[in-house]
């Protein structure tokens, strides 16, 4: 807290606005004062120079990190071989269609019964516009993309103990919340309640910005009016003919809105990773992995379970079992190794690397996230509630319901993501058999969409901590662990270099996986060229 009477800088004023109103209001104020600027992206370097003739690399894992690394190494002249545990390439880049079979740890088997053309993405499901590596490789591999709708003003924000459990339209909450906050800030600025010598010019700029941002009237109040209804929606929308005049809607009482905490997920869409425009491959996220597989199919050996990784001064030796061929241990040798196995799995495989790298591998836990998706008899979210794409958020354990961004207005069926569960709730969901997970997700979802009870047909549930080839959804870093272990994890050890979303500052995203793969082969190539 500053001492009374001391001058306040614009930076301090903006910080106060940020604490009071959230990042979106602060950002607008920064823009008004000329401070905000977008950070430019700098693309990674391509491999320069040719390797020694016959130089070989074994890549462990045919996820996106491994396949990006393999593609660029192949094109640079290396002899490349990929060993993949699964019977398919793509890793967590995956889509479930009708007929897909999946067996988790413990032996529970699920068979997807979705109708033709419908799918669920159990792993990644959207691509931000600034994930340039993913977008570039999609273009290069002819993966057709379409818009993914993240923010929908007609979707819901929901809190169990607010408004009698009734979900609120996003447009109502965001408009009324920002209007109330803008009114409070306008009062503070206009009456010198900040008790700081902000200049008259600053006040004028900020008041104008707040009035525009919050749809305030000339007295800087947020009230029922056609102006506020233009943000939150009308009680009676503008029409045509004699009865066309619109009627304004009644804002939610500001104190009731604040107390409800229904606004807790309101600004998620303004986080950089979720900002519009976002994309998805036509037909499912797994189309990216399929495209890489087509490009690299001659390099990939499927059903190869790595059991040991050894290196010496002359190269690397990978011991593995053919999952379709008994207990015989086979070997693959190469000059270098790019290992993209999830750390949750790699920590259980013998590998002779430096103690610092091994400690880093052992230090990163994986998120026990759960996804549940359900096919419905009809697209009731569109037909009954006019929700076309986007996400509704809730404080229930399912956290969110995502509506499909494709096939809108079709008369057929549709698939909803009925929940994306994290943390302790995900641990509890993972402990249930798939049928119980699904039943619980539908029970929670019906608190937002009661139609679910009648319209649900069949479902699939993915508990990532029970997936044998990853044992979790994504690596969880803390600031302390990054400081202690991150560089040791990413720095090449002898002839082995690691990659994957865990070896990035963009964990859980495909972009992090790809960028880590590209960074890994830069180290490898530099070392190979030096020799």
CA distance 337 to 495: 6
Q: Span 64-92, mean pLDDT?
A: 97
Instruction: Examine the domain organization and report whether 253 and 401 are in the same domain.
Output: no
* 335, part of any domain: yes
Q: Taking the mean position of all CA atoms in its chain, how far away is CA 196?
A: 41
Q: What is the mean pLDDT of the chain?
A: 90
- At residue 9, the pLDDT reads 53
Q: Span 247-254, mean pLDDT?
A: 92
Q: Span 284-290, mean pLDDT?
A: 98
Instruction: Examine the domain organization and report whether 378 and 353 are in the same domain.
Output: no
27 pLDDT more than 60: no
Instruction: Examine the domain organization and report whether 374 and 462 are in the same domain.
Output: yes
Q: How many domains does the chain have?
A: 3
Instruction: Examine the domain organization and report whether 374 and 360 are in the same domain.
Output: no
Q: Span 108-118, mean pLDDT?
A: 97
- Distant-in-sequence, close-in-space partners of 131: CB < 8 Å, separation ≥ 6: 509, 510, 511
- At residue 196, the pLDDT reads 54
Quote the strand ranges of 209-340, DSSP E: 278-281, 300-301, 304-312, 315-322, 329-334, 336-339
- Residue 201's domain comprises 171-236+248-260
29 pLDDT more than 50: no
Sign for the CA dihedral angle at 110, 115, 116, 119 comes to negative
CATH of the domain at 255: 1.20.1440.240
Q: What is the dihedral of CA 60, 64, 70, 73, to 10 degrees?
A: -130
What does DSSP assign to residue 503?
A: G
Higher per-residue pLDDT: 33 or 449: 449
* 221, part of any domain: yes
Instruction: Examine the domain organization and report whether 325 and 391 are in the same domain.
Output: no
- At residue 212, the pLDDT reads 86
Instruction: Examine the domain organization and report whether 415 and 489 are in the same domain.
Output: no
Instruction: Examine the domain organization and report whether 207 and 337 are in the same domain.
Output: no
The position carrying tokens 């798939």 is 434
Omega of the bond leading into 422 within 30 degrees of 0 (cis): no
Instruction: Examine the domain organization and report whether 360 and 371 are in the same domain.
Output: no
Q: What are 423-433's pLDDT values in tens digits?
A: 999 999 999 99
- At residue 3, the pLDDT reads 45
* 503, part of any domain: yes
Instruction: Examine the domain organization and report whether 231 and 371 are in the same domain.
Output: no
Instruction: Examine the domain organization and report whether 480 and 360 are in the same domain.
Output: yes
CATH of the domain at 307: 3.50.50.60
Instruction: Examine the domain organization and report whether 360 and 374 are in the same domain.
Output: no
Name the band, by pLDDT with cuts 50, 70 and 90, for residue 21.
very low
Are 296 and 289 a contacting pair, CB within 8 Å? no
- At residue 385, the pLDDT reads 98
- At residue 209, the pLDDT reads 82
- Distant-in-sequence, close-in-space partners of 304: CB < 8 Å, separation ≥ 6: 83, 84, 85, 320, 321, 322, 323
400 pLDDT more than 60: yes
93 pLDDT more than 90: yes
CATH of the domain at 378: 3.90.660.10
* 294, part of any domain: yes
Are 168 and 156 a contacting pair, CB within 8 Å? yes
374 pLDDT more than 80: yes
DSSP, collapsed to helix, strand or coil, labels residue 142 as coil
* 114, part of any domain: yes
15 pLDDT more than 70: no
Instruction: Examine the domain organization and report whether 453 and 312 are in the same domain.
Output: no
Sign for the CA dihedral angle at 499, 505, 509, 515 comes to negative
Q: What are 180-216's pLDDT values in tens digits?
A: 988 888 887 776 555 555 677 777 878 888 888 888 9
Name the band, by pLDDT with cuts 50, 70 and 90, for residue 92.
very high
Q: Which contacts (CB < 8 Å, 24+ apart) does range 349-355 have?
A: 349/306, 349/307, 349/308, 349/309, 350/307, 350/308, 350/309, 351/308, 351/309, 351/310, 351/496, 352/309, 352/310, 352/311, 353/311, 353/493, 353/494, 353/496, 354/488, 354/493
Q: Give the lowest-confidence range in 138-147, 183-192, 286-295.
A: 183-192
* 25, part of any domain: no
């Amino acid at each position: 807290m500053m001492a009374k009477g001391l001058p306040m800088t614009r930076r301090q004023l903006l910080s106060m606005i940020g604490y009071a109103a959230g990042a979106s209001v602060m950002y607008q104020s920064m823009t008004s004062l000329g401070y905000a600027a977008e950070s430019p992206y700098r693309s990674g370097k391509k491999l320069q120079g040719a390797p020694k003739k016959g130089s070989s690399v074994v890549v462990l894992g045919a996820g996106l990190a491994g396949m990006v690394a393999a593609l660029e190494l192949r094109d640079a002249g290396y002899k490349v071989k990929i060993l993949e545990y699964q019977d398919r390439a793509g890793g967590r880049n995956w889509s479930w269609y009708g007929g897909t079979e999946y067996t988790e740890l413990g032996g529970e088997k699920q068979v997807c019964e979705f109708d033709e053309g419908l799918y669920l993405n159990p792993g990644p499901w959207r691509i931000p516009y600034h994930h340039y590596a993913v977008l570039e490789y999609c273009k290069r591999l002819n993966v057709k993309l379409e818009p993914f709708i993240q923010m929908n003003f007609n979707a819901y924000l929901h809190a169990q103990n607010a408004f009698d459990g009734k979900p609120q339209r996003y447009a109502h909450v965001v408009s009324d919340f920002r209007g109330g906050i803008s009114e409070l800030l306008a009062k503070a600025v206009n009456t010198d309640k900040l008790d700081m010598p902000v200049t008259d010019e600053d006040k004028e700029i900020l008041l104008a910005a707040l009035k525009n941002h919050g749809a305030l009237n000339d007295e800087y109040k947020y009230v029922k009016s056609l102006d506020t209804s233009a943000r939150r929606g009308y009680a009676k929308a503008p029409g045509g003919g004699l009865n066309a005049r619109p009627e304004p809607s009644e804002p939610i009482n500001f104190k009731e809105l604040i107390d409800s905490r229904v606004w807790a997920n309101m600004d998620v869409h303004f986080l950089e990773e979720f900002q519009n425009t976002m994309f998805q491959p036509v037909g499912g996220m797994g189309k990216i992995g399929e495209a890489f597989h087509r490009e690299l199919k001659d390099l990939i050996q499927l059903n190869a379970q790595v059991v040991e990784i050894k290196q010496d001064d002359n190269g690397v030796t990978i011991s593995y079992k053919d999952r379709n061929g008994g207990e015989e241990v086979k070997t693959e040798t190469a000059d270098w190794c790019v290992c993209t196995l999830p750390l949750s799995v790699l920590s259980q495989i013998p590998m002779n690397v430096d103690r610092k790298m091994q400690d880093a591998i052992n230090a990163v836990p994986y998120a026990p996230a759960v996804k549940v998706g359900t096919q419905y008899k009809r697209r009731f979210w569109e037909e009954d509630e006019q929700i076309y794409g986007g996400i509704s958020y809730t404080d229930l354990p399912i956290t969110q319901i995502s509506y499909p961004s494709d096939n809108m207005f079709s008369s057929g069926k549709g698939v909803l993501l009925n929940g994306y569960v994290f943390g302790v709730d995900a641990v509890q969901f993972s402990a249930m058999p798939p049928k119980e997970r699904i039943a619980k997700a539908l029970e929670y979802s019906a608190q937002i969409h009661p139609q679910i009870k009648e319209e649900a047909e069949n479902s699939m549930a993915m508990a990532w901590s029970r997936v044998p080839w990853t044992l979790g959804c994504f690596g969880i870093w803390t600031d302390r662990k990054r400081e202690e272990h991150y560089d040791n994890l990413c720095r090449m050890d002898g002839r082995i270099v690691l990659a994957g979303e865990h070896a990035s500052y963009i964990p859980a995203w495909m972009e992090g996986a790809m960028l880590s793969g590209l960074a890994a082969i830069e180290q490898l190539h530099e070392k190979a060229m030096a020799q």
